[in-house]
Amino acid sequence: MSGQQLEGLVALVTGAGGGIASASVEHLARAGCNIAAVDVDREAALRVAARVAELGRQAVAIDADLALATAVDSAIEQAIEAYGRIDVLVNAVGVGGVSPVADHPEELWDRVMGINLKSIFLVCRRVLPHMMERRSGRIVNITSRAAYQSRGGTAAYAASKGGLLAFSRVLAVEGGPYGITVNNVAPGTTLTPMTRDFYGGPEGQAREASDSGVVVDPPRLIEPDEIANAVIYLCAPGSEYITGTTLHVNGGSFMP
């Protein structure tokens, strides 16, 4: 990938310490972006920022609980104070949680919705006017195959990601007249540290890929870099007329 594609732009990435998010940060930096890395875990944000600095780009680490409006306001203010602008917003913050509906704890539902959906609303509510004023911007939200393909025990997660799809479409309509595009990337099961622990070694990971319906050979979990490549595609020059859509990266396990 050319280092000139996004040269000099500023990208704010939420949940920056996560597997998909940190890969996206690295790809954005390699494409020329300076980074505002936002994570509830300050040490994780600092690690990501240090990696960006190694790549020769500027980075600011911001710790914030994005389910809180006041924390979101502070985080966006810090990013704009550091760079004076936000050109790209990648909402990669997210948590899981497994429980059948009949036994689903209310606290788990509220936590998943607060982080996976409400936080993205709060961040976009704050960033959108800034992009509107500049009459340009790229917003990419990381949704999930789970928004389309149901599995037992994933009610809160699937509902949050399905809600994100609907929210993104509305955001695309409202941002379009200002030169802002809004799109989603929907990963299949991705080989993040969390899924690596959950599915165990190569045999367990291959079994999950096969069970989820991956059709490429050999069946395997998605690499975070593959999701990051999709993020870059939706942010790079040439994507100006792609908005309100979802790019599926899942090895053919869901074909809309």
Catalytically annotated residues: 157
Distance CA 54, CA 52 (A): 5
Distance CA 75, CA 65 (A): 9
Name 187's bridge partners: 249
**Please, are residues 152 and 102 in contact by the beta-carbon 8 Å criterion?**
no
Q: What is the DSSP letter of 240?
A: T
Distance CA 151, CA 133 (A): 42
Distance CA 215, CA 196 (A): 20
Count the Cβ atoms, other than its own, within 10 Å of residue 163: 18
Return phi, psi of residue 166, to 5°.
-65, -40
Which helix H or strand E contains 36, and what residues bound it?
strand 34-39
CA separation, residue 127 to residues 11, 35, 122 (Å): 11, 15, 9
What angle is formed at CA 251 by the lines to CA 245 and CA 252, rounded to 5 degrees?
70
